[in-house]
Amino acid sequence: MKKILTILLFFYPIVGFSQQDTNLSSFVRSIERLYNPLPIIKDSNCFYNNALLMVVFDSSYKICKMQLSDNAASWNISEFERIKRKLDYTSLTKYAKENNFIGKLLFPIVIRRGLKNCKYEIENHNFSSSLFSFNNILLNGNIRFENPIVITSMEMTGKN
Amino acid sequence: MLNIFMNFKLLLFYFLVVNTNNIDYQPFFKEFGDDISKMIRPPKEYLEYSNIDFYYSQLIKIKVDNKYNISSIKVSDGSSEWFKEDIEMLVKKGRVNFDKFNRLAKKNKIKNCELILPVEIVSDNYPKINCKLYIPNQNFYMFDNKNLAGTIIFGNRITISYSYAGIKK
């Protein structure tokens, strides 16, 4: 009995998280393909927008919540709402199962337009503390950040 | 035997939930932020010329072990070089009062986690449209080439504002 408890306690911290990586590319690609901020930023020469997308997995590895961080602009939220149903979730759920991941997966979403030395038209909300909060609660718990999803189309980089 | 085991599991679950909910991390973050903000400085050139405005957004990670001791203080890979050097120097030269923060961690029951303190460093005229903005790069959420992961607690961001004369406000 003691041995069983020892084993359970020993493995407790890693039950919810494993470092093993799985490919999330189909989910990321679907965001890159569908997210379209161009109508909002078409008049800006330099534009920068930064938010976090949180995906929460429950104990059965199902997605129980998806949300943008509190700093997200209203157009950002409505754009995400528009594409939410069209996203490819297969790689996400597979990822959670294969990694025994129960917790919060975070995707930084960066939208930028402009050249390297661009003087950005800064929107104050981009870097506010609310970048790290969801419904006024600062990020906490079992968390894993993924690589940022950077949305820069040809139009947005001003190449055409 | 099974009953004892089930009760123990419930007790363990209750213990973990109650402990997690009772922990107040913000006094630690505030104290740490106050100390750090007194000791770091943006590059000299930014503080001497009145035509430069700046904005930096950085992350500091404080790892606390299971004995309430700070085991490491690191700056995210995406932070600017001068900021990394400043923090590394503070740690190396013993200017961070580890004893004080270990005591604070113990007092607030903070252990087995990584605390993330967002730091904003700005010139006194910020926000300004033509501000020289340090855009966080792809590595903003990375430490030692690994994406941030594990039991993580974010603190409220601290803002350090500098005037052109280099005197912190």
Q: Is residue A9 part of a domain?
A: no
What's residue A135's pLDDT?
95
Of A29-33, A42-46, B15-19, B90-94, the one with minimum mean pLDDT is B15-19
Residue to test with chain B: of A49, A125, A129, A152, most B Cβ within 10 A: A129
Quickly tell me which residue has 């039991």 as its tokens.
B151
User: Which residue of chain B has the CA closest to A8?
Assistant: B9
Nearest CB to B152 within list A13, A128, A143: A143
The whole-model pTM stands at: 0.80
| Mean pLDDT (whole number) for A130-140 | 93
Please indicate whether, in this complex, the C-beta atoms of B157 and A17 are within 8 angstroms of each other.
no
Q: Is residue A147 part of a domain?
A: yes
| pLDDT tens by residue, B154-164 | 999 888 888 76
What's residue B123's pLDDT?
78
What's residue A43's pLDDT?
65
Q: Is residue A8 part of a domain?
A: no
Please indicate whether, in this complex, the C-beta atoms of B138 and A148 are within 8 angstroms of each other.
yes
| pLDDT tens by residue, A13-32 | 333 333 334 578 889 999 98
Q: Chain B: give the shortest CA distance to residue A18, in Å.
A: 9
Nearest to B122 by CA among B67, B159, B85: B159
Rounded Cα gap, residues B41 and B160, in angstroms: 9
Where do the H-state alpha helices sit in A35-127?
A: 38-41, 74-84, 90-98
Is the confidence at residue A158, as pLDDT, over 50? no
- Report the percentage of chain B scoring pLDDT > 90: 49
Q: Is residue A142 part of a domain?
A: yes
Quickly tell me which residue has 């404080």 as its tokens.
B62
Show which of residues 85-114 on chain A sit within 8 Å of chain B, judged by CB atoms: 106, 108, 112
Is the confidence at residue B17, as pLDDT, over 50? no
Rounded Cα gap, residues A151 and A153, in angstroms: 6
Cis peptide bond N-terminal to B42, omega within 30: no
Is the confidence at residue A82, as pLDDT, over 50? yes
Task: For helices A2-15 and B2-22, give the axis angle rounded to 10 degrees.
Answer: 40
Q: Is residue A54 part of a domain?
A: yes
What's residue B154's pLDDT?
95
| pLDDT tens by residue, B98-145 | 999 999 999 999 999 999 999 988 877 665 555 555 566 678 899 999
The two structure tokens encoding residue B138: 């792809």
Q: Chain B: give the shortest CA distance to residue A61, in Å.
A: 17
Find the radius of gyration of the CA atoms of chain A: 18
What's residue A17's pLDDT?
37
Nearest to A145 by CA among B65, B143, B29: B143
Please indicate whether, in this complex, the C-beta atoms of A13 and B1 are within 8 angstroms of each other.
no
The reply to whether B127 touches chain A by the CB within 8 Å rule is yes
Q: Is residue A2 part of a domain?
A: no
Residue to test with chain B: of A1, A57, A70, A138, most B Cβ within 10 A: A138
Residue A129 CB burial class (10 angstroms; 0-12, 13-18, ≥19): middle
Is the confidence at residue B92, as pLDDT, over 50? yes
Show which of residues 63-102 on chain B sit within 8 Å of chain A, judged by CB atoms: none
Please indicate whether, in this complex, the C-beta atoms of A143 and B8 are within 8 angstroms of each other.
no
Structural domain for A102, as ranges:
21-154
Total of domains in chain A = 1
Q: Is residue A115 part of a domain?
A: yes
